[in-house]
Structure 1
Amino acid sequence: MSAGDIDHAFTWLNSDLGGITQDEVMGRGRIHQVIDHNTVALMEQRVRKTGVLERIEEWKAEDSHGVGIGGRPALISERALLTGLLILAKQGEAMHLTLLTALFQHGLGDESRELLGLERSSNAFIGHIGETKRWYHNVHRAFHRLNDLMDPFPQERRHSKTYTEIQAILAAHDRELEEKHKARLDEFTRRFVVMTFHEQPRHIRRISSKLDISFDQTYLSTPTKKGYSHKTLAARVAKEKKIGVQGLLTPGPVDAHAGWHVKAGERTDYTKGQADQTAPEAKTSTNYSWGWMGNLATRTDSEAPGTSRFPSLIVAATLSRPNVAVAEEAVSLMRAAKTIGLTPGVADADKQYWANSLQERLHDPAFAEGFTPSTDYRVDRLGIRGGEKDSTSKKGTTGKKDATDNEDATDKNGAYFVEGGVYCPGTPKPLLNATKDSVSGLIDTETYRARIKERKAFELHQKEKPNENGRTMLRCPALGPSPTVTCPIRELMKTATPKARPGVHPDDVPYFPDTICIKQSVAFNTADFRRQAQAFDFGSPEWEEFHTHARNSIESINQQLKSGGTEDIESANRRRVRGMGAAQIIITILITNFNIRKIAAFVSDKIKADAKALTTGPAAERTVRRRDREWHNPYTDTYPAGVVRPDKVKPAPSDETGGPPRRT
């Protein structure tokens, strides 16, 4: 039976709807409201500003296999589709294709339809079911045409899979296609995010030319919650083969390319191409959730941390599988953030990134992009990281590594590598171990701050900037025109200004001085201390102020995006289309709306603050009513400016006779 026949069979509802109106029936309980054309035009203009429409056409041409036979043109273009999604996000609606269908079918005026290239819709009650189905199928096809251009993990997602089918999907996965579509997907997101940044007023964009960011991951659930483990997949497939009967097999997951997010506990970071072995344990399954990870970077302010000079916007975003390529996704965020046109500055993150990533996966690429880390250190990386001599043996050989040393602890010309700095071998041990002692509770915060400040004097001085090969010349802090310490091995240069300086105690002088204590300067490879380098001296008030500000910024952004309010990106209830590609398309639209809201709120707060400053300024600058300027107001007992109250007028001098005042 066709849709028209179904409508004809139920025409009796036209006269027997009870207390329900025809509009409510056609809207399935919702009220259809026509969107103002100016709003539609604004959203359409923002889509065009991204430049993504031109890229979509290029991707289509790239994927085409020669000349086609032609066919009916699409009834809903990518421009109309993305404009509609932005309108839904602005209205705070769920990002459902059914709601997008209702918007296109009932929520646009003639002028808006002409702008978006949409045909007029029939609003008749008779036949509305068939009309709604037709619009829904057109919207569905338009969305998936766009998704097919960018989906890194294409697969059938309409039905639950057996584990045998999951194994077949993984085996047939095209990694080259994944790389190409992942790059397209990230570019799609980047273009929308950059567009929102340039929607700010010019004077706000130009407050600072420096780009400081804070980045982190946040969990995003899939529409279907059931997952699987790579560890047990082969065993489950073997078990299914023994059963053999399709109808007896237990339905498994739908999406083969999601993963287990660890809510609490140690996290891993597998490289690209590795199978994620993370799986929930029987006793701790509540600590795991099946889904994806949103990688977000927000703009921070290292020049004035804690202030509100500009809105805290998301400047880069991607989606990825949990526990896979965490470091590489962070580098992708940095590259994407740079496209807004500012100079790279400080990049802050928690221990999951800088402290746990290999140097070649995160630190070196970040340095190449121009960003300097800001982070906390792992406990086992505090204190001396290399170059320490065995002072007890009085030999010229390097002592054994202690329990906290690892692969990055190496001997470099006798210098000490301590928490991002390179220090004189005569630095007092209490200063070198200040952070370790603070963490273990041996010293209080005030003592720790004092030792960190005192330790700064023993840091090696940079004589020259790094050359093109990444080598830089450092010298002993007791040398040069501005020495910061005194040392028995060195004599202060005659050009140095005599003043009190910290000194190297004779007991701390190396028994057999190494290169740094003998030569005027020594070449160091900047890559040697890049592993622990930071933008601010670790533990200093400046470091703590910025790191706290940066962590609070990204945590606040995550909370606002994931709260059950306007965006709510964590929950899949508002984005029911399956697959990571579809999820990133929708979340991109939600992030776009979030940034626009943040900009509008920032400007609104600025206007209110300026208005308040005017009303609470000096009394002379406030507007005075005319009646207060010109007449006496008996209610407030105020007099015009320049008029003295009668009871304040001093009496004329008296001759003390009781008579009238004497004339003078």
Structure 2
Amino acid sequence: MSRPRAWRSPEKIRKCRPRPVTDAPFEIPDSKVGQLDALLHGSGALELIDTELAGRPGPDGLPVRTVLVGLLLSLHYHRSASLADVCRVLLDELRAPARGWLGVPDPGSLDDHGRHAFTRRIYRSFDRLTTALDPFRCDRRRRLPADEAALAVAAWEDTDAERMRRRAVLQEISDRLVLTTVHLAHRRGLFKGWRGDIGVDTTPVPAWHHEPCKQRGLASVEITAGWHYCAGSSEGVFGHSATLLVAASRRHPSGHSQAGKRVSRHPQLVLGLVLDTPGKRIGPNTVHALTKLVPLGFPAGILASDRAYTDQVSEHFAQPARRLGYQLVLDYKKVHRGVQGTHQGALLVDGSLACPAMPTALAQATLGLDDEAVRGIDDNTRLREQIAAREPYFLRLKESADKRGAIRLQCPASGPSPSVACPRFNQVHQIPAPRPAVVDLTNRRATTAHTAAKPTIPIPQVERLRPLPTKELPRICQKPTITVRPGDLGKLDKFRQDRHYLHPTWQDAYQPERANIEGANGRLKSHGINIADPSKRLAHGRVAQTVLLALMICSANLQMLFSWTQTTGTTANSGIVDAITELEGTAPASTTANGLPPPQPPVTADTSR
């Protein structure tokens, strides 16, 4: 057997040899710098930052815009939000046009002292931002005594006007950095098929520093951090808690309604972010993030949350979410399953009001079930049958929520199409016995609507012989309809939800939306941008952590958009450039060699003519 010709050619052999890795730094295209800079300008965060920094004593220093663009570039190419990586990106990886846009000096003209001086300018610029937004400026380079740290912690909780204003500005900057990618996707029509379903979760954001030391009386460097306990875990994570909203979707009970391969109709972007101390303001933080979505005109669909939100006071979570138009789909702890209370005589069974005479076996079908039994309902035939047998006994919706959030519910035995047969209802309202009628047994609809095919409310034998006076009956039995207003159930209002617990319609919404939020958490804590790795965001203080985390979410959303467009086959290049030009608010007069306009702040039209 003869050898291939390529093996006998020394020239071809030399070309196939592996090339050594060059020591030259990587060069970032000017187009990527311009896109991220335009995206940052379009977010509006720079306007708030410039307003806060205006009038501060001392020289202006390096613009904060340069540092933020460097952070976005570092996250995009190196998956890091460390200022040390930002220094290397700005000095060694930018081309001459991009350096001119951002005000970065030519690295060839700098010696070691010049590079060190520029590095210090980057750190001072970021420090000016965190100082201007910090409600209580303290030494973040050492562990403070517990009494001094308590003063700084109180500044994040008190009602001082200036401190509240700074906290609000910081949150607004975080909102704008996260929502700029959502605006970008929305303007391109990527949320056209989205129903407005949202999955919400609170995830731990670990801190780099040690927890407080009680023996030495020292606080942590992260003075507002605490212990975050995930569901089912007895070991806490020291750091902050991040409330995340993710664009989710429900599934069809019988599978996907369209034929062919099932693909996502919209990108599952992070729609909101609030960083806070663990265990603080879990419900209000979610409501704040939901409120920020109202100006975008998104529909209000289903809001799926875990048991941490079920424990929230109704005024802090359930009621504001319903006023925004969302339907709640909740889960319960083991001790909260089954009959949870009563309202106007009706039983509150797993978050839904039901007939007071519902059989006990059905009402307490979920009593004492652990989480594994609930998650494995598909393999539990008896439980599925009991959940299906509950449905006729639930009160039915007669009128949807009005402006005040009040709904009208009616007895399951009332109306033109009752779901149960109730002797008590027939006696109180003097309903005559139905006349015998011929039923076509081959007609499924006719046989289902017949009284004999419906379950009968089990009335005690004593009451059948001696009916109770109308005044002694439950309120729902005296009149067929009741009005449920926000807060009418008192402490039980936090358990009320809009889909019957464990019913197929509940699983159709809860399971996929919880999978969406967990999938987003997995992407945010993956080998790429890992928000769970504190070494990627080493800056001290809650202000710095909030800004860095918002930039990480913004960069992760851009990656999700790119992955989604590649998966679905959507052409994204021209659309992104057009959307960024629209966000920038001005048509550039000149372009660079690569066809991208040099980034500029929005230009105000001249009206003096």
Q: TM-score, normalised by structure 2?
A: 0.75
- Secondary structure of 1:316's counterpart equals strand
The answer on whether the counterparts of 1:218 and 1:293 sit within 8 Å (CA) in structure 2 is yes
Deviation by residue 1:620-640 (Cα, 9 ceiling, x = unmatched): xxxxxxxxxxxxxxxxxxxxx
The answer on whether the counterparts of 2:312 and 2:494 sit within 8 Å (CA) in structure 1 is no
Indicate which of 320, 342, 345 corresponds to 2:276: 320
The answer on whether the counterparts of 2:201 and 2:305 sit within 8 Å (CA) in structure 1 is yes
Specify the code of the residue in structure 1 equivalent to 2:184: E
User: Hey, what does 2:544 align to over in structure 1?
Assistant: 582
User: Hey, what does 2:164 align to over in structure 1?
Assistant: 179
From the CA coordinates, give the structure whose radius of gyration is larger.
1
Alignment of 1:205-354 (within 5 A): 205-228=190-213, 253-262=220-229, 287-302=235-250, 308-354=264-310
User: Hey, what does 1:158 align to over in structure 2?
Assistant: 141
Alignment coverage as a number of residue pairs? 508
Specify the code of the residue in structure 1 equivalent to 2:243: N
Deviation by residue 1:605-656 (Cα, 9 ceiling, x = unmatched): 12299xxxxxxxxxxxxxxxxxxxxxxxxxxxxxxxxxxxxxxxxxxxxxxx
The answer on whether the counterparts of 2:185 and 2:191 sit within 8 Å (CA) in structure 1 is no
Specify the code of the residue in structure 1 equivalent to 2:111: H
Q: How far did residue 505 of structure 1 move? A: 2.5
Indicate which of 496, 506, 510 corresponds to 1:547: 510
Is the counterpart of residue 34 in structure 1 residue 27 in structure 2?
yes
Matched-pair identity in %: 24
Alignment of 1:479-558 (within 5 A): 479-491=414-426, 498-499=450-451, 500-507=453-460, 512-528=472-488, 530-558=493-521
Is the counterpart of residue 58 in structure 1 residue 56 in structure 2?
no
**Counterpart-to-counterpart distance in 1, 2:230 and 2:476:** 47
**Are the structure 2 counterparts of residues 215 and 98 from structure 1 closer, same or farther at C-alpha, using a change threshold of 3 Å?**
same
| RMSD of aligned Cα (Å) | 3.3
**Are the structure 2 counterparts of residues 434 and 336 from structure 1 closer, same or farther at C-alpha, using a change threshold of 3 Å?**
same
Structure 2 gap segments, 5+ residues each:
1-21, 257-261, 436-445, 572-609
**Are the structure 2 counterparts of residues 159 and 438 from structure 1 closer, same or farther at C-alpha, using a change threshold of 3 Å?**
closer
Q: How far did residue 486 of structure 1 move? A: 1.2
Q: How far did residue 579 of structure 1 move? A: 0.9
Is the counterpart of residue 384 in structure 1 residue 329 in structure 2?
no
Indicate which of 433, 442, 466 corresponds to 2:364: 433
**Counterpart-to-counterpart distance in 2, 1:30 and 1:98:** 19
Specify the code of the residue in structure 1 equivalent to 2:174: T
Indicate which of 128, 134, 150 corresponds to 1:145: 128
**Counterpart-to-counterpart distance in 1, 2:86 and 2:531:** 18
User: Hey, what does 1:375 align to over in structure 2?
Assistant: 330
Structure 1 gap segments, 5+ residues each:
1-28, 238-250, 267-283, 388-411, 610-664
Moved more, 91-100 or 37-46: 91-100
**Are the structure 2 counterparts of residues 466 and 578 from structure 1 closer, same or farther at C-alpha, using a change threshold of 3 Å?**
closer
**Counterpart-to-counterpart distance in 2, 1:603 and 1:382:** 42
Q: How far did residue 385 of structure 1 move? A: 2.6
Q: Which structure ranks higher in relative contact order (CA pairs < 8 Å, sequence separation ≥ 6)?
A: 2
**Counterpart-to-counterpart distance in 1, 2:569 and 2:484:** 52
**Counterpart-to-counterpart distance in 2, 1:262 and 1:520:** 45
Indicate which of 109, 114, 135 corresponds to 2:95: 109
User: Hey, what does 2:396 align to over in structure 1?
Assistant: 461
**Are the structure 2 counterparts of residues 58 and 73 from structure 1 closer, same or farther at C-alpha, using a change threshold of 3 Å?**
closer
Alignment of 1:117-136 (within 5 A): 118-124=103-109, 128-136=111-119
Is the counterpart of residue 194 in structure 1 residue 179 in structure 2?
yes
**Counterpart-to-counterpart distance in 1, 2:528 and 2:418:** 58
- Secondary structure of 1:48's counterpart equals helix
**Counterpart-to-counterpart distance in 1, 2:287 and 2:23:** 44
**Counterpart-to-counterpart distance in 2, 1:141 and 1:101:** 12
Q: TM-score, normalised by structure 1?
A: 0.69
Q: How far did residue 122 of structure 1 move? A: 4.6
Specify the code of the residue in structure 2 equivalent to 1:184: V
Alignment of 1:580-619 (within 5 A): 580-607=542-569
- Secondary structure of 1:200's counterpart equals helix
**Are the structure 2 counterparts of residues 351 and 167 from structure 1 closer, same or farther at C-alpha, using a change threshold of 3 Å?**
closer
Q: How far did residue 88 of structure 1 move? A: 0.8
Specify the code of the residue in structure 2 equivalent to 1:298: V
Q: How far did residue 42 of structure 1 move? A: 0.9
**Are the structure 2 counterparts of residues 112 and 533 from structure 1 closer, same or farther at C-alpha, using a change threshold of 3 Å?**
same
User: Hey, what does 1:635 align to over in structure 2?
Assistant: none
Moved more, 37-46 or 152-161: 152-161
The answer on whether the counterparts of 1:222 and 1:578 sit within 8 Å (CA) in structure 2 is no
**Are the structure 2 counterparts of residues 209 and 202 from structure 1 closer, same or farther at C-alpha, using a change threshold of 3 Å?**
same
The answer on whether the counterparts of 1:153 and 1:580 sit within 8 Å (CA) in structure 2 is no
Q: How far did residue 357 of structure 1 move? A: 1.5
Specify the code of the residue in structure 1 equivalent to 2:265: R
- Secondary structure of 2:247's counterpart equals strand
Structure 1: 4+ residue segments shifted above 6 A: 171-174, 440-444, 493-497
Is the counterpart of residue 417 in structure 1 residue 333 in structure 2?
no
Q: How far did residue 506 of structure 1 move? A: 3.2
Moved more, 493-502 or 305-314: 493-502
**Counterpart-to-counterpart distance in 2, 1:87 and 1:164:** 40
**Are the structure 2 counterparts of residues 315 and 121 from structure 1 closer, same or farther at C-alpha, using a change threshold of 3 Å?**
same
The answer on whether the counterparts of 2:135 and 2:156 sit within 8 Å (CA) in structure 1 is no
